[in-house]
Chain A
Amino acid sequence: DIVLTQSPDSLAVSLGERATINCKSSQSLLLTSNNKNTLAWYQVKPGQPPKLLIYWASTRESGVPDRFSGSGSGTDFTLTISSLQAEDVAVYYCQQYYSTLSMCSFGQGTKLEIK
């Protein structure tokens, strides 16, 4: 099974500052058929369903503000919020969709708060 480990578990950042969340995979998520990484990022706010932010590691979902960006390849990935806004307080999860055996699995989540 592919295991995703996020760091840190929680993070406090000042408004307007950069927030960085990491996700490490137990094996490479690079799909050789299309040279893309099968890694997505979600934002979860209390009382709301998860929201897809990023897929293929770096492609922003339609309507997602451009302060959100994804990077990385292989086993190491990063979600960056360039200038934190109050509405970005949430729990963020990475998700892999490489493995057909373990299907889709998520990281344990990172709680982002305002400092």
Chain B
Amino acid sequence: QVHLQQSGPRLVKPSQTLALTCAISGDSVSSNSVATNSVAWNWIRQSPSRGLEWLGRTYYRSKWYNEYAISVKSRISINPDTSKNQFSLQLNSVTPEDTAIYYCARGQYNTFGVWGQGTMVTVSS
């Protein structure tokens, strides 16, 4: 059974970088078998004003790929860490509009069946 455990600060100052980590158990961040060829590791956020918003993903298919939502593409980075079997989110130059619950999620065929517990991140000075 796949389990995702999130960690990271809950309060970030405006203009600074939001950084979260998602540790994976029961699967590999480098999943690349025929059976799991569709697996990717995602970050999604939820806020009252924007609902659910997909931010981006990372996945391995003989090499690493990253794909990001257009809305955050200029300031987001999602990176795998194979030594720790985890992946991370970095969102630069945050504003109060980035205040949200952030989730990591395992995607298969781009649907999300396994989620982390969520991290409420507040952007405030």
Contacts and interface: CB of A to CB of B under 8 A. Distances in A.
B28 to A, nearest CB: 21
Main secondary structure of the interface of B (DSSP, over half): strand
Interface string A75-115: 00000000000000000010101000011111111000000
B52 interface: yes
B109 interface: yes
B14 interface: no
A106 B54 contact: yes
B116 A49 contact: yes
Contacts of A102: 69-70
Interface residues of A, number: 22
A106 B118 contact: no
Nearest to B68: A103
B113 interface: yes
Interface string A36-49: 00101010100001
A93 B112 CA distance: 12
B3 to A, nearest CB: 12
Contact of A38 (B54, B67, B103, B110): B110
A17 interface: no
B110 A108 contact: no
A7 to B, nearest CB: 14
Interface of B: 44, 46, 51-54, 57, 67, 69-70, 103, 105, 107, 109-113, 115-118
Given A51-B115, A52-B113, 16 more contacts: A1-B70, A42-B52, A49-B117, A50-B44, A50-B46, A50-B115, A55-B109, A93-B51, A95-B112, A97-B110, A97-B111, A103-B54, A103-B67, A106-B51, A106-B53, A108-B51
